[in-house]
Chain A
């Protein structure tokens, strides 16, 4: 090899090693939203497809970049005074065919798992459990038709079996995405879209609305709790229970009175079973999350609160004090509650297990 070629080869190796090291050092899984830590068969299948394409693309990347660097090193004009000009090649029909056909073959190879993946992963099995997902600005509502449960922000599903999400929106486009379990799917007002979710391990998985849906799009998040079948049934029957309302003198009684008298009931439903009173049901047309089992959910306000470094009570108090400040554009208004009213409400809400 000529010294020039040696230099080119050394440079190529060096740059390649540096790029490889950088790529390795950043591939660590540390985000609850990462797509690299699939926890179910659907996400697994997508992950496999991603890595297949990633490695093909990486090989092509290094070949092209390597060739480019080698060309720049080899053919850089080092002697401006030289009169020796390059050969005037105009093209090469064989090469044109080669670099048309080879990429076409690579793409054809990738196309096969792509198309089969599309058909296998779209839609749901007929016998899977249905959960209706309804998008609102800026929270997800979940309705379990088989159990007649209405909840929000935290979806609970059993491990090891397919759950079919039947999704629609009450207002604008939203997009339901829990990276560990499946890719995204829109929630379209006036239409129903399907998304199959399946987890093969229990745990809490993070999600996010992925379609820009207005002012507080960034504060529309989601959680999916995956539990074993028995735990799921226990959760479901607990959710079916009516609310137990505090009697006068019970903890939370004052907060409940605030809830009744400050207008919260215009939007929030509480289902209870008391022959002496009818249920408090918000109007069908407009409602916020069903609060019957509010405290059974680990997060609220679009799965945004409580944040990392705050307690449940403090976050709840902040939220009640000024919802539009926490969530710009919020349909929950600032009711100008006093500090006492807020702490009463927090106390009551904590009893709504």
Chain B
């Protein structure tokens, strides 16, 4: 393993004649065998965006159904499946991998490293995620979802086609909610295999995040360039590190809980089944003990992104850097002590309700510190309202609303009224869409030049922002009101005469405006990759070291990793301060940028990069095969699948261990990637993702 990250020549080792490291870094095989953190980041990014579109289509189906009272666009089963898959997709298959895309691509660049600590492990994370996503979504082909069975063995009835409404075929997918509350999502009330696909799919996807969390932690603690002390790291790196620790501590909990569900469903255990003395509330404790830290797993990377974007476009350092960093860590720490605020209506004792209510309130304090420090950064700055900055400021405004409504959930008696209504739906979309998604878009526009050597169209970018901002608020602001007016969540139909109709129509229109804004973004991305203005080395006059290398990023990242002297090292190389404390550009800055732009490898001292490998891909491929087998374990071919998958994974483990360290040298030609080259590479990737 250690050999993977050697950046200088290693001692020769006897070559294995059976196992060879793949040599091609181009084409489909190049993408399949790559261990380059940038290529893995790009694949994560495209896959996440693909699932964003899928989850978005699911949301639009939901909104069409709810556009009017007693809607009959979807059947009840299809509706339940759509809200289950929308949430599951957006949380596990969109925001988490999108954050992973940023972390993969940027973390090594921002700390001045050539790759992550364990490049093959990094590839393994990605392929596990990829196959996990395919496994989960294969439920639409193979899964079944049947009516509930009463405790006395009587089966519920469905009208032909699933009852009123269309798209009945969508009902054969997980429909127990992304929260999978027991016993409804258990074997009795959700018979059929769909919820097994859900539980085991999340198991696989969670494993991907667990593996990468270890990788990122080791990377941040061991791979920083000279002088990059912990408190000189960019805030995005800090937040990624905090997220990695959150993943490390919270994912094992959900892994155990999902195995318990799988055992209940497949092997007749009764962990959560009241008929056998099991406790359905135990599942909620386990789920939210993971699920609440998960919320911070989703939002902290976006907070890191805006902490990078706001200072750059304010042309000021981040106000209260250490306060922002420690507030982020504090949020993560407190985030493990508030899970039961999702359960205030569940009948837990008043002492527990009061304690979790108070703990939840305390989260508002570090969150407030962050918001005020971002505003302190803006204050007195020279604000350039570019597209990334608009998204960052949009994040700030929308997240503040989500934060305020979040405090109202801590007011326990008030939460008894609001929980399980659309008020909560409004709240967490302000946090996760207004917060996380706006932050991710800020990051996409900001770092696009690092992928392509081009900047995205500002005109289209601003159109995208304003459409999304408008659509977002039309969609989610009225939900506060709907919830307070008594509209219950997860309801397929609502009765006329409740005063819900007009606002629901507004919400549906808003959802389609969001969809339109995403189309604008997609066009902008497609167009700017080929025809965007050349970015040069440092298009935004940025502060951090990832902007000290040419765009698109060379395969080896840095010719000479920078020696960091200060926080915002790159800015301080370009700017000094006058006696008033105003920034003054150093006369040598332009010369320095020009030199960096044309820095070339010294052919005398080549850079050894980690060699590509087949084994991450093969090892990851084995997991879904095992899990298909688990679902059908009562059949012969189910047992065969378990065996085949186990052999694939275990054999690749051996291969992983004994494959040679041989590291093909990148030729000088490969290093000088033109923008067009990168574009082609992206196309290959799209082909690979299908």
Contact = CB atoms under 8 A, between A and B. Distances in A.
B368 A330 contact: no
A103 B364 contact: yes
Contacts of A218: 76, 488, 490-494
Contacts of B346: 186, 188, 193
Interface residues of A, number: 105
A34 B380 contact: no
Contact of A77 (B77, B382, B408): B382
Contacts of A50: 408, 411, 414, 417
Nearest to A101: B365
A121 interface: yes
Interface string A89-111: 11110011001100110010011
B3 interface: no
Interface string A195-218: 000000000001011111111111
Contacts of B494: 218
B383 A77 contact: yes
A177 B401 contact: no
Interface stretch (A58-66, A146-154, A246-254, A256-264): A58-66
A160 interface: no
Contacts of B577: 88
A92 B369 CA distance: 12
B156 interface: yes
| Size category, B interface | 35 or more
A68 B413 CA distance: 32
Nearest to A212: B490
Interface stretch (B349-357, B435-443, B454-462, B677-685): B349-357
Nearest to A183: B416
Interface string A24-39: 0010001111111000
A216 to B, nearest CB: 6
Nearest to A307: B495
Interface in B71-129: 75-77, 80
Interface stretch (B35-43, B299-307, B578-586, B635-643): B578-586
A206 to B, nearest CB: 8
Given A32-B498, A68-B396, A211 B157 contact: no
Contact of A175 (B345, B383, B415): B345
A184 B347 CA distance: 10
A210 B420 contact: yes
Contact of A186 (B320, B347, B349, B357): B347
A172 interface: yes
A171 B385 contact: no
Interface stretch (A125-133, A229-237, A272-280, A331-339): A331-339
A189 B361 contact: no
A328 B162 contact: yes
B485 A33 contact: yes
B549 interface: no
Contacts of B365: 100, 103-104, 107
Contacts of A111: 357-358, 361
B81 to A, nearest CB: 11
A325 B75 CA distance: 10
Contacts of A45: 413
Interface string A46-57: 100110011001
A215 B76 contact: yes
Nearest to B163: A328
A182 interface: yes
Interface in A1-38: 26, 30-36
Given A175-B420, A215-B76, A308 B148 contact: no
B449 to A, nearest CB: 19
B649 interface: no
A82 to B, nearest CB: 8
A117 B188 CA distance: 38
Given A114-B411, A330-B157, A68 B375 contact: yes
B323 A215 contact: no
Given A88-B577, A91-B376, A96-B320, A214 B184 contact: yes
Contact of B154 (A99, A118, A216, A331): A331
Interface stretch (B212-220, B238-246, B310-318): B310-318
Interface in A161-191: 170-173, 175, 177, 179, 182-186, 188-191
A324 interface: yes
B381 A172 contact: no
A122 interface: yes
B491 A217 contact: yes
Contact of A331 (B156, B162, B181): B156
A304 interface: yes
B484 to A, nearest CB: 5
Contacts of A83: 585
B77 A328 contact: yes
A217 B492 contact: yes
Contacts of B371: 64
B562 interface: no
A292 interface: no
Given A53-B407, A110-B361, 16 more contacts: A35-B484, A57-B405, A86-B582, A88-B583, A118-B412, A171-B151, A175-B420, A182-B416, A184-B419, A185-B347, A210-B345, A210-B421, A211-B420, A215-B148, A217-B492, A331-B156
Interface of B: 70, 75-77, 80, 147-148, 150-152, 154, 156-159, 162-164, 175, 177, 181, 183-184, 188-190, 274-275, 277, 279-281, 314-317, 319-323, 345-347, 349-350, 353-354, 357-358, 361-362, 364-365, 368-369, 371-373, 375-376, 378-385, 393, 396-397, 400-401, 404-405, 407-408, 410-421, 481, 484-500, 575, 577, 580-585
16 contacts: A31-B498, A49-B414, A61-B401, A65-B397, A72-B385, A75-B314, A86-B315, A91-B373, A110-B361, A114-B354, A172-B184, A209-B488, A210-B345, A214-B189, A215-B76, A218-B492
